[in-house]
Structure 1
Amino acid sequence: MPTPASRAAVHVLTGSYTPDTGGEGTGLATLRLDPSTGGLSYDDEVPPLPVSGASFLAAHPTLDVVYSTNETDPGAVSAVSRRHDGVLAPLGSPADSGGTNPCHLTVHPDGNWLLTAHYGSEKAPGSVAVHRLDTDGSLLEPADLVVHDGSGPVIGRQEGSHAHQILVDPAGRFVLATDLGADAVFTYRLDPRAGTLERTAVNRLRAGSGPRHLAFAPDGERVFSADELSSTLTCHRYDAATGTLTAVATVPATTALDVVNQPGGIVASPCGRYVWLTNRGADTVAAFDVSGAIPEPVGETPSGGGRPRGLAYAAGHLLVANQHSGTVVALRVLDDGRLQASGPGVSVSSVVCALVL
């Protein structure tokens, strides 16, 4: 750990908030990572593509198509095609996402469905939606919308539900949706023909924890939650037969005690031994050894900017999207899971996510 990286450049797509969504970014921009040095640079051959409120990105499993949230009220989702030379182009018009402030999306492994999580607003609860995809990856009609319920004890953040992530478990059997407002992870089955969601379980997590994102270990037997409101990391056992979670251990997300901290992105290592998460407030990326029952902190590294949010693994590096400083940096992963500042980063205004292509 890590496995030897190819010296070929790695292409990375970033998403940022645009002026109409409170940011200063252009939407989508393409970068190159040099795995040998950790240096990042703009891909000058691929111009940025304006996409409103591109706060999260997901790739189609078999097509050169990427999907972006348009984190607006009402919300939308966009499909973007990538030509053979990497140039980006809209694939049809943005589609109504069915809810408010979509903040996360994923494509089902069968390539037929786009799943979207809506954070919601003061007036609209969080929800999850399904869109059918055409054979070329373009967005077709909505197939389902499920509104979440629930609340939590944190005033100002948990008066109602706020779906924050939607993902498919490693076996492809269940769809999981974290809800920061309800302190819950909702489990669904997706009907592969109709595209409808059937709720099969509600996993209640610690009150006030505010689960934001999950990351599965490669074995599919454990899943880790970045708990935004309690500034913690929780390890859960995952029952692949029922789609249910059982909390095993919770540890602090950062050693910094003098700041208000909110974990953001979370990634599990390909080998399954380490988990990393961003700390917004401490402005660090924390590394944990999760080979035992209790996650053990092994290091905490400056994120290279302010308010680190998105996190992605690529060729022995972690790519960190620092929202407030508008920078993307690469941190080299060492053999013991710790991180080390690597090559020069790049400026990407209001950047919040990165997708390795």
Structure 2
Amino acid sequence: MPTPASSGPLLVLTGSYTPDTGGDGAGLDVVRFDPASGRPAPESGLPPLPVSGASFLAAHPTLDVFYSTNETDPGTVTAVTRQPDGALAALGTPVAGGGTNPCHLTVHPDGRWLLTANYGSDTEPGTVAVHRLDEHGRVSGPTDVVVHEGSGPVTGRQEGSHAHQVVVDPAGRFVLATDLGADAVFAYVLDTRAGTLAQSAVSRLRAGSGPRHLAFAPGGELVFSSDELSSTVTCHHYDAQTGILTEGSAVPATTAQDVDNYPGGIVASPCGRFVWVTNRGADTVAAFRITGSGLTPIGEVPSGGTWPRGLTLTAGHLLVANQHSGTLAALRVRDDGTLEQPAPAASLPSVVCTLPL
């Protein structure tokens, strides 16, 4: 089994688009997931927390604090904690996100900095922002905002830069930001005293690929990208000394024909053998085996809804947030990396992301 199973139900935080951001969701909800049955269900007695455009979630490494993007214009980020009865509560007020339409965020391993990727808009470039976190996990700032530059050949999507993800590499040396509009991954060094970013390198990727998210294999030597605009998954070699990605082989994200498809979430297994990707359009989750320095397709199953966006691995299952159908589905992972058909899904309008609590 590539991921350990759990002996009992788990709580999962979910985020959704709200009416003010084009969706029908409540913002943040708590779901109870039973790995034995593979069925998620809303947790009774815990009301949702209204958070505007909660499109991505991240956890503090040591505190019972969680962070949500507020995908608005201008964008903000919200810190959330849990009360003794388990109910969600905002930790302070939303803080300026440092750009337009924040779509991803992560907490630095030292727990003192929150990093946010702001997609931008048709007129505003993508940016990456740094926010200071105090000893209680409250957000202030931003302390720095860097603006991406670049464009690509895909009309209507790549006239300008669009930061889509920001992560810290496995060695903790570089902050990496994917840019869908610029076909690039920007590498930065974070000054952990001042909270500022210094650009150290740019990895230029295949024109028109539109890199969305990255997933590192254990060890950090290989990193995989879900390429939203070319409907591919690419294997890259990562140089931990420079922060540079060297592009390798790419495979189609789906076997579906005659469908416009946009890969979304991507996860690499902790055992280093498999990669899984959601396909918006084909409405599937595809499984791949890592073979040397590339990927081999090993199966593809329905996602349990339509427009699968977020993807999280927990307790031997992939939790899939199906945005347009408003369903959260769980796909059991077999020992060989292939996936079982999902159990009945939970109804969560406009759900787009999940985070195990």
Q: Does the pair score TM above 0.5?
A: yes
Alignment map for 1:220-259 (pairs within 5 Å): 220-259=220-259
Equivalence for 1:75: 75
Aligned length: 357
Q: 1:3 to 1:269 in 2, by over 3 A?
A: closer
d(CA) in 1 for partners of 2:298 and 2:102? 34
CA shift, 1:46, in A, is 1.8
Change (3 A) 1:156 1:4: closer
Aligned to 2:262: 262
| 1:248 positional shift | 1.6
Relative to structure 2, which stretch is displaced further, 4-13 or 212-221?
A: 4-13
Q: Which runs of 5+ in 2 are unaligned?
A: none
1:316 and 1:3 map into 2 onto residues whose CA distance is 5
* Pairing of 1:117-136 with structure 2 (within 5 A): 117-136=117-136
- 2:184 — aligned with what? 184
Q: Root-mean-square deviation (CA), in Å?
A: 0.9
Distance in structure 2 (CA, Å) of the matches to 1:298 and 1:84:
44
Q: Verify: 1:352 aligned to 2:352, yes or no.
A: yes
State percent identity of aligned pairs.
71
Report the Cα offset of residue 4 of structure 1: 4.2
Q: Distance in 2 between matches of 1:182 and 1:271?
A: 32
Aligned-partner residue type, residue 213 of structure 1 = H
- 1:51-103 Cα offsets, whole Å, 9 max, x none, are 00000000000001110000000110000012343211000000011110000
Per the alignment, residue 2 of structure 1 pairs with 2
Q: Which one is further off, 340-349 or 150-159?
A: 340-349
* 1:110-152 per-position Cα deviation (integer Å, ceiling 9, x unaligned): 0000000010011110000000001000012211000000000
Deviation at 1:187, TM superposition (A): 0.2
Tell me if the contact between 1:64 and 1:83 (Cα under 8 Å) persists in the aligned partners. Answer: no
Report the Cα offset of residue 5 of structure 1.
1.5
- In structure 2, the partner of 1:28 is 28
Q: Is the 8 A contact 1:120 1:163 kept in 2?
A: yes
1:277 maps to 277
2:286 equivalent to 1:286: yes
Indicate whether 1:313 and 2:313 are aligned.
yes
CA deviation after TM superposition for structure 1 residue 35, in Å: 1.2
Describe the SS at the equivalent of 1:142. strand
Equivalent position SS for 1:257: coil
Residue range with higher mean Cα deviation, 145-154 or 40-49: 40-49
Which amino acid in the other structure matches residue 320 of structure 1?
A: V
Residues 141 and 3 of structure 1: is their aligned pair in 2 closer, same or farther, counting only changes over 3 Å? closer
SS class of match (1:320)? strand
Normalised to the residue count of structure 1, the TM-score between the two structures is 0.99
Say which SS state the counterpart of residue 20 (structure 1) adopts: helix
| 2:20 alignment partner, SS class | helix
Hey, what does 2:328 align to over in structure 1?
A: 328
CA contact (8 A) 2:304 2:342 kept: no
- Match of 2:239, as an amino acid? D
What amino acid is the match of 1:206?
Answer: R
Native 8 Å contact 2:158 2:181 kept in 1: yes
Counterparts of 1:95-244 in structure 2 under 5 Å? 95-244=95-244
1:326/1:3 CA distance change after superposition, 3 Å = closer
Query: Structure 1: where are the runs of 5+ without partners?
Result: none
Q: Tell me the distance in 2 between the aligned counterparts of 1:84 and 1:272.
A: 38
* Aligned residue in 1 for 2:299: 299
Change (3 A) 1:291 1:110: same
Q: Is the 8 A contact 2:331 2:341 kept in 1?
A: yes
Question: Which whole-Å CA distance do the structure 1 matches of 2:323 and 2:342 have between them?
Answer: 19
Deviates more, 1:78-87 or 1:213-222: 78-87
Q: Note if contact 1:66-1:79 (Cα within 8 Å) is conserved in structure 2.
A: yes
Distance 1:252 1:136, change over 3 A: same
Contact 1:226 1:232 in 2 (8 A): yes
